[in-house]
Amino acid sequence: MKIHGQGPFFNRCHLGWAILIWTTASSVFATEPTPETLRLAVNKSMPLLQKGMVGHTQERTCFACHNQAMPILALTTARGKGFEVSNDLLKSQASFITEFLEKNKSRYQEGQGQGGQVVTAGYALLALELCEGKPDSLSKAVSEYFLRYNQDLDHWRGHSNRPPSEGSPFTATYLAIRALQKFGAPDQKERIEKRIREVQQWLLKAPAKDTEDRTFRLWALMAVQAGKNSLQAAVAELVSSQREDGGFAQLDTMKSDIYATGQVLVLLHLAGGMATSDPVYQRGLAYLLKEQLPDGSWHVKTRSVPIQTYYESGYPHGKDQFISLHAASWATTALALACPIQPQTVKSNNPPKVVKPMTKPELEGSPKK
């Protein structure tokens, strides 16, 4: 005797529900931040970041924040967690960046800079720092540029309005501060300290209008050793902007996106001291995992008007590739920071260090007390 309901139709329905449940469970597992899912996501992303870096240097002679500095941040952070990263790749990128800066050395000494001004020069020195660059006559020239540029202001400002990564005075200010603290020469020390005192006052009172402002304001406040209350307030402002989906948005009027989410998580950890196990960070990680595409990339739509001739760097998403690569670098960094450290696999000695928050304005070459 057959039980009512058992038969081909019942079996097909049962199978359909089983597939649906299995698919849903697999999806949930894939977006749950675990050591396995985090490492898988980073491993899927890294080849595309590297492809975008190499593709840029093959197509252009100028330095690019989105195709060089940011992927270098992601790759060196990942290396610090035991992921395999080619030292030769990073050395070639450092050489390319150095050559770009050398072409403008005389202009730096005169306080004139290059295209992109403070943001470009600041990201270039950050990239060299991550690749183990040391202070020399070139970095001293760039430091001189930072000291002379925007002298009439109590901060540094972005040269162009290309949201979200270019235009924020907080981004320009942090990058200049970090460069001066890392690469400033001993005979520039007095001017650097005076300049940073001026900037600190601006940072304490200047309002932030969007997420780019808020994140780099937090980083800059930490760099100038602002008080605990100021740092906590900056952290709280960022945390309060987290959306129900766990992500963050570039603007209050926009939906959550990868650029803002990755950026906020990285800065909450590096500058705000938030543990990667914090529920806020974990919810952000889940959002990043959920939004990663099968090829390992993330897609963010550009908000900037193109000003240069289009080219293919190798990262996906066509005309959105540059902001998408920038966003993917933030996302990969955030994911890597949350990965447990595993034994490193290196291809040569002296691997680059993970980006570290500067907690005091030390100058390279300053006398030791």
CATH number, residue 292: 1.50.10.20
Residue 167: what pLDDT?
84
Average of per-residue pLDDT values in the chain? 87
Q: Any idea which residue has 């670098």 for tokens?
A: 329
Q: Which of 165, 320, 331 is nearest to 257 (CA)?
A: 331
Instruction: Look up the pTM and report it.
Output: 0.86
Min mean pLDDT across 36-40, 62-66, 152-156, 290-294 is at: 62-66
CA distance 191 to 187: 9
Q: Does residue 119 lie within any of the structural domains?
A: yes
Q: What is the mean pLDDT of residues 143-153?
A: 97
State the sign of the Cα–Cα–Cα–Cα dihedral 175, 181, 184, 188.
positive
Q: What is the mean pLDDT of residues 195-209?
A: 97
Q: What is the mean pLDDT of residues 216-241?
A: 97
Q: Coil, strand or helix: which one is 139? A: helix
Residue 254: what pLDDT?
98
pLDDT at 182 over 50: yes
Contacts of 270 (CB under 8 A, 6+ apart): 219, 337, 355, 356, 357
pLDDT at 348 over 70: no
Percent of the chain with pLDDT over 90: 77
Residue 67: what pLDDT?
87
Domain that includes residue 207, residue range: 33-302+314-337
Q: Does residue 19 lie within any of the structural domains?
A: no
Q: What is the mean pLDDT of residues 82-96?
A: 96
Q: Does residue 351 lie within any of the structural domains?
A: no
Residue 352: what pLDDT?
41
Q: Does residue 22 lie within any of the structural domains?
A: no
pLDDT at 316 over 60: yes
How many folded domains does the chain comprise?
A: 1
**pLDDT tier at 158 (50, 70, 90 boundaries)?**
confident
Residue 160: what pLDDT?
76
**pLDDT tier at 26 (50, 70, 90 boundaries)?**
very low
Q: How far is CA 349 from CA 45, 85, 131, 341, in A?
A: 24, 12, 13, 18
Q: Does residue 283 lie within any of the structural domains?
A: yes
Q: How far is CA 107 from CA 115, 140, 368, in A?
A: 11, 12, 32
Q: Coil, strand or helix: which one is 369? A: coil
pLDDT at 2 over 50: no
User: At CA 211, angle to CA 199 and CA 362, rounded to 5?
Assistant: 35
Q: Does residue 67 lie within any of the structural domains?
A: yes
Q: Does residue 42 lie within any of the structural domains?
A: yes
Q: Does residue 165 lie within any of the structural domains?
A: yes
Classify residue 278 as left (phi > 0), alpha (psi -120 to 50) or beta.
beta
Q: Which of 219, 197, 198 is nearest to 208 (CA)?
A: 219
Q: Coil, strand or helix: which one is 346? A: strand
Residue 18: what pLDDT?
40
**pLDDT tier at 330 (50, 70, 90 boundaries)?**
very high
Residue 344: what pLDDT?
58
